[in-house]
Amino acid sequence: MFGVSTEIVGLLSKLGEYLKAAIEQAARTTAMGQPLDADRLAEWLEARMAPWEPEVKGRKLADPATRKAAARFLAGLAVNLSMPARSAA
């Protein structure tokens, strides 16, 4: 597949699933009238990601610090995507 390994494609697909879950959680949070907080959402997402052990060519990729950073990145994206679009001035 154009030089991209199936392991990388699988990794990116799983990250997409986690982003979708974070967006859905952000929507539930907003629907309950609570403010969106990327750090709180990241903690929720990190807990969901805990059992995930991605590997590429036998190398483990998600040590706790990396998983925490990935969760915060995805939570930040989810919060930003959940905010109303700003109009161009």
Residue 89 resides in a domain: no
Residue 87 resides in a domain: no
Residue 36 · residue 29 · CB < 8 Å: yes
Residue 22 resides in a domain: yes
Residue 19 resides in a domain: yes
Percent share of the chain, pLDDT over 70: 94
Per-residue tokens: 86: 């700003």
Domain span including residue 37: 6-49+58-82
Helix (H) / strand (E) containing 52: none
Angstrom CA distances, 54 to 13, 33, 49, 80, 82, stand at 11, 35, 10, 26, 27
Overall domain count for the chain: 1
Q: Positive or negative, the Cα torsion across 73, 74, 77, 79? A: negative
Read off the pTM.
Answer: 0.86
For 21, residues 6+ apart whose C-beta sits below 8 A from its C-beta are 45, 48
Q: What is the pLDDT of residues 44-59, one digit of tens each?
A: 999 999 999 998 889 9
